[in-house]
DNA sequence: AATTAATCGAGACGGTACGTCGGGTCTTATG
DNA sequence: CATAAGACCCGACGTACCGTCTCGATTAATT
């Protein structure tokens, strides 16, 4: 067995540089938008020279893409025990994600990637798939628990939930994009109601609907 | 007083310059994205000098915002006589809009505008409101016709419809973003089904649902 | 007759920028040598942006070449009335020229140009020809005055004079490169003596030689 | 103490590295001039890492200075038995030296060193002294043989000879810098004639002059 | 007809960022 | 110890674009 992480010759790369750079990239982007997002500034903020960045990424686009995707893995799929509970948790996560600058960046890049004629094709898929996975496992757990039938249309549920939440976030004026945990929880309920109502006859014991 | 559009002295502005510039702006943006969207290129493409542009817009952001909004007025609200028909027509319009480069640009700018710390704040509202108006009038027509009760939650319907369609468009790989009219019509049906199912008990004579 | 200096369209170039830039270039080069000669510094010193420089010269080498050649035209051919007087005046000019930073730069570039594999081929010729011309006219005046015969070998006289003076300057340590007018005059005499001695039998009435 | 060249502990220095590096330095410099002379390239060409170079020289200037001076020892003082013969041999050597890339480099560095504000001050002196030594011994041999009086002004002879030859080489276009042995010999004769004519009355039996 | 006032093309200009490259220092593993 | 390999910081390179500016040329409306 060859040593897998055999040390390459030469000075090893600074271990935290990578992380510091990516953090700085996201922050700069979040603060100034694409037009004001400057690699020089990123370097300065990360306490690193430009060369160090260009040693790792070919250009500023790649750096941003990587930085954002790397940070997007934190949408977790919590198991609350009920379909409604799971969906509300997921929706709350989505909303929180869309409201903070990082989520905004993700969204922005998904849009970019979707329409761009150039390579970053997989970006949108990565992002949307990630959410789809969460939704699918929620639904299959519901079936396992006997809460729902197997005819639950997962892709529609995903798209409706994610889409609705995203529109909700998008239409929120920028000065009201900071919401407390309870606000988020409250905002999410009608959306989940709506989705559950749509799939009502695929549910075994009709979940409690809009009050 | 007398003449409202009294001719100002001096050489009058070129009448089509405005239009040519805006068209060029959108095209450049659609082709190269924000990173590659250059005012010099816009000027060249429009057959106009930079001064002519800067006489009309303060900076390149404003030009783009104006150019895109000006072209987005074509989401029409067709009256087909039934709620399902109206919704399908609206959904098809939305999907078509999201799939072509202009719609993509709109979306992109909405996202930008939503998160940006700088002025173009009203952009997102303009765009989303425009769609909301269409949805609202569709729903009120349904109520007038006696198809639905007045408890129809218009904002949720709007957001679900628009959001789901958008997600549909976003998750479509860039080489499959060209759809024929029938494809669009077909793709739209399950979404409308989903929405109608969700509001089923607000409808007077339950619309025919999923097969 | 077409107007020769017909104004080109667009904003006219700053008239003194050119001069300021070239002056700054020579100064920077003289102070720091090639290794420390930086275009950024030149721009700063000239109170001009880099673009303004690159609008006029393709790269920093060309700028330097131009700047130096443009300033080298000041080796004048003074007519003192006698062959010895003319030669001493020329020699003094050459020595002064070689001793100051500009002359040093000229020399340096002549050397560069002579060996370089790339275009600036004509530089050396320009510079050396300029001096040759002065020498030739000095000699022909001597012949006209009846001081010398027509067999005076001008190219050798030129090369010996210029070469010897240059060696003199080169071998001078850098802290002793500032000479007063009288020092220069004194340093030049033996060199002219030497040259006149070499062409002694081409002179009509043997000039007074070494005392 | 027993062993004078006691091996120091640790890995011994690569013995030819030094030579390979210096060779590479001169070649790179000759090919690309100072502007294109890069330490990275030197290291690559010498098959050596940059550390190995920096262990031996403090910076790239020093490396170049050393490399060039080390190679310049080949201006030999041949004893042909006559003053004229010696001078012609020396002049031919000088001309050959000035014409090949190494000599060009030497010259270039001499010029640099003469005007530069920074350390390599001794370079010019080293180089010019080396030639002066050859000339001095030629002249003293001539005196010993009874060919010349002791009033021969060695410094002037040196500077005139070296200077004239250098000008000759400098004014030669770069595509005509390759001369055969006979061409060199022929080109040198008039220069020696010139110098001998200048010192004619310091010679015991007047050497045969220009025909 | 002469004047005035604005538009327009053309392009110079200062500035800032890009992505690249080189110098000189450093850090590591291997001889 | 010396070496190879290469990461790292710094700063210059030459390019591109923005938004401003200065011109001359054009084009009406106004004297």
Region of residue C10 (left: phi > 0; alpha: psi -120 to 50; beta: else): left
Q: Please tell me the distance from the alpha carbon of residue D111 to that of residue D115, in angstroms, as a whole number.
A: 7
Low-confidence spans in chain D with pLDDT less than 70: 1-11, 73-75, 113-128, 173-174, 205-211
Do D102 and D177 contact (CB within 8 A), yes or no? no
- Supply the pLDDT for residue C57: 95
The packing angle between helices B101-115 and A101-115, to 10°, is 170
Do A5 and A28 contact (CB within 8 A), yes or no? no
Model confidence over A64-114: pLDDT tens digits? 988 988 877 666 788 999 999 999 999 998 898 888 877 877 887 777 766
DSSP chain A: ---TTPPPSSSPPPTTHHHHHHHHHHHHHHHHTTTT--HHHHHHHHT--HHHHHTT-SSHHHHHHHHHHHHGGG------SSHHHHHHHHHHHHHHHHHSHHHHHHHHHHHHHHH-SSSTHHHHHHHHHHHHHHHHHHHHHHHHTTSB-TT--HHHHHHHHHHHHHHHHHTS-GGG----HHHHHHHHHHHHHHHHHHTGGGBSS------
Q: Which among A116, A128, A174 has CB closest to B121?
A: A174
- Supply the pLDDT for residue C24: 95
Which chain D residue shows the shortest CA-CA distance from C113? D174
Model confidence over D60-96: pLDDT tens digits? 988 988 888 887 766 678 899 999 999 999 999 889 8
Q: Please tell me the distance from the alpha carbon of residue D6 to that of residue B130, in angstroms, as a whole number.
A: 90
Determine, for residues C169 and D200 on separate chains, whether the beta-carbon distance falls below 8 Å. Answer: no
Q: Which residues are CB-contacts of A123 (< 8 A; sequence separation ≥ 6)?
A: A65, A69, A109, A110, A112, A113
- Supply the pLDDT for residue B155: 84
- Supply the pLDDT for residue C116: 57
- Supply the pLDDT for residue C74: 62
Backbone angles phi, psi at B13, to 5 degrees: -70, 145
From residue D209, how far is each of B152, C96, D154 by CA, in Å? 120, 33, 20
Query: For residues C144-175, b (16+ Cβ closer than 10 Å) or e, as one string?
Result: eeebbeeebbeebbbbbbbbbbbbbbbbbebe
Distance of C1' in E26 from CA in C37, Å: 27
Determine, for residues D177 and C124 on separate chains, whether the beta-carbon distance falls below 8 Å. Answer: no
A178 touches chain B (CB under 8 A): no
- Supply the pLDDT for residue C152: 79
Q: Please tell me the distance from the alpha carbon of residue A35 to that of residue D119, in angstroms, as a whole number.
A: 47
Determine, for residues C174 and D116 on separate chains, whether the beta-carbon distance falls below 8 Å. Answer: yes
- Supply the pLDDT for residue B2: 38
Q: What is the mean pLDDT of residues A193-197?
A: 92
- Supply the pLDDT for residue A4: 45
A115 touches chain B (CB under 8 A): yes
Neighbours of B100 (CB within 10 A): 15
- Supply the pLDDT for residue D58: 92
- Supply the pLDDT for residue C123: 56
Task: Spell out the per-residue pLDDT of chain B, length 211, in tens.
Answer: 334 445 677 788 888 899 999 999 999 988 888 888 999 999 999 999 999 999 999 999 889 988 988 877 666 788 999 999 999 999 999 898 888 877 877 887 777 766 655 544 455 566 667 777 888 889 999 999 989 988 888 888 888 998 899 888 887 766 777 889 999 999 999 999 999 999 888 888 654 544 4
Is nucleic acid strand F under 7 Å from A35's C-beta? Answer: no
The packing angle between helices A17-32 and A101-115, to 10°, is 80
Determine, for residues D195 and C198 on separate chains, whether the beta-carbon distance falls below 8 Å. Answer: yes
Q: Please tell me the distance from the alpha carbon of residue A180 to that of residue B17, in angstroms, as a whole number.
A: 49
Sign of CA dihedral C14, C20, C25, C26: positive
Q: List bases, strand E, within 7 Å of protein CB.
A: 4-31
C186 touches chain D (CB under 8 A): no
Q: Which residue from A188, A77, A92, A201 is spatially nearest to A139, judged by alpha carbons?
A: A77
User: Which C residues 24-63 have CB within 7 Å of strand F?
Assistant: 37-41, 50-51, 54, 58-61
DSSP B24-35: HHHHHHHHHHHH
Model confidence over B83-123: pLDDT tens digits? 999 999 999 998 988 888 778 778 877 777 666 555 444 55
- Supply the pLDDT for residue D209: 46
Distance of C1' in F20 from CA in C31, Å: 35
- Supply the pLDDT for residue C25: 94
Residues 37-96 of chain B with CB under 8 A from chain A are: 61
Q: Which residue from C126, C32, C109 is spatially nearest to C75, judged by alpha carbons?
A: C126
Model confidence over A27-65: pLDDT tens digits? 998 888 888 899 999 999 999 999 999 999 999 989 998
- Supply the pLDDT for residue A100: 80
A186 touches chain B (CB under 8 A): no
Mean pLDDT of chain A: 82
Is nucleic acid strand F under 7 Å from A177's C-beta? Answer: no
Low-confidence spans in chain C with pLDDT less than 50: 1-4, 119-121, 207, 209-211
User: Which C residues 16-75 have CB within 7 Å of strand E?
Assistant: 17, 47-52, 55-56
Q: Please tell me the distance from the alpha carbon of residue A161 to that of residue A199, in angstroms, as a whole number.
A: 12
């Amino acid at each position: 067995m060859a040593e897998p992480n055999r040390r390459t010759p030469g000075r090893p790369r600074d271990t935290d540089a990578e992380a510091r750079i990516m953090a700085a990239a996201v922050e700069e982007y979040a603060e100034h938008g694409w037009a004001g997002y400057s690699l020089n500034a990123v370097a300065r903020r990360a306490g690193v020279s430009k060369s160090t960045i260009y040693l790792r990424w070919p250009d500023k686009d790649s750096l941003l893409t990587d930085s954002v995707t790397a940070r997007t893995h934190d949408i977790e799929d919590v198991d609350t025990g009920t379909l409604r509970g799971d969906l509300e948790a997921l929706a709350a996560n989505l909303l929180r994600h869309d409201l903070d600058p990082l989520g905004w960046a993700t969204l922005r890049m998904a849009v970019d990637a979707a329409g761009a004629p150039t390579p970053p094709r997989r970006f949108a898929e990565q992002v949307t798939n990630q959410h789809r996975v969460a939704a699918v496992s929620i639904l299959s757990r519901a079936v396992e628990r006997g809460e729902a039938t197997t005819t639950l249309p997962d892709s529609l549920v995903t798209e409706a939930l994610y889409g609705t939440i995203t529109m909700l976030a998008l239409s929120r004026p920028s000065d009201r994009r900071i919401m407390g945990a309870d606000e988020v929880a409250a905002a999410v309920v009608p959306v989940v109601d709506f989705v559950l109502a749509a799939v009502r006859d695929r549910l075994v014991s009709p979940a409690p609907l809009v009050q």
